[in-house]
Amino acid sequence: MSSRQLTHAVLILLLVLATGFCLLANPKCHATKVGGGEPTIERTTNKNSEQFRIGFRKDLLSLTIDEAGAHFRFRENSRKFKIGSYSGTDDFQIEFTLSKPGQEFHQPDHHGDNKFIVKSIMADSILIRYETSFSHHSFGKNLVTEDFGEFTINAFAGN
């Protein structure tokens, strides 16, 4: 597999993962579940950690760390995040600073959510814990897949 094909596959996977929060977070979704009853929930650990690490590094223009925290700057046409708790109507950002462990940022859409939580900020990297949830409801399945894990991104100044 070429690096271009791998990048494309990672982007598709990240798009799919970015779509799982609605069923769990929005009670209105529960009223329209496929097949009635509670969905089957499949949980994994660290299944997507490498894809997130690669995807973040590809989409970041820079990640700098100083005494104020970790400063993220993403490409204009890539990822956009909601900083803090997600309410469903908030503005999304491509540049933001996280200053302490426990702060979170989200990448939600109508199928799900990727929740990222700062686990630790070191002098040259940041450790991020993630929680993903994806509802397969609109694809005709009474299924929710969840993945929990961690990944590290090394600081870099960008171009």
Residues 59-99: pLDDT tens digits? 999 999 999 999 999 988 887 788 876 665 557 888 999 99
Task: Assess whether pLDDT exceeds 50 at residue 115.
Answer: yes
**125: Cα within 13 Å, side-chain hemisphere:** 10
Q: pLDDT for 5-39, tens place per residue?
A: 655 554 454 444 444 434 334 433 333 334 567 88
Judge contact between 118 and 152, C-beta under 8 A: no
- How far lies 48's CA from each of 3, 11, 73, 93, 122, in Å? 18, 12, 22, 23, 22
Q: What's the CA gap between 88 and 26, in Å, rounded?
A: 9
Query: Which among 51, 50, 44, 46 has a CA at the least distance from the CA of 9?
Result: 51
> How many angstroms separate the CA atoms of 44 and 60, rounded?
26
Percent of the chain with pLDDT over 90: 52
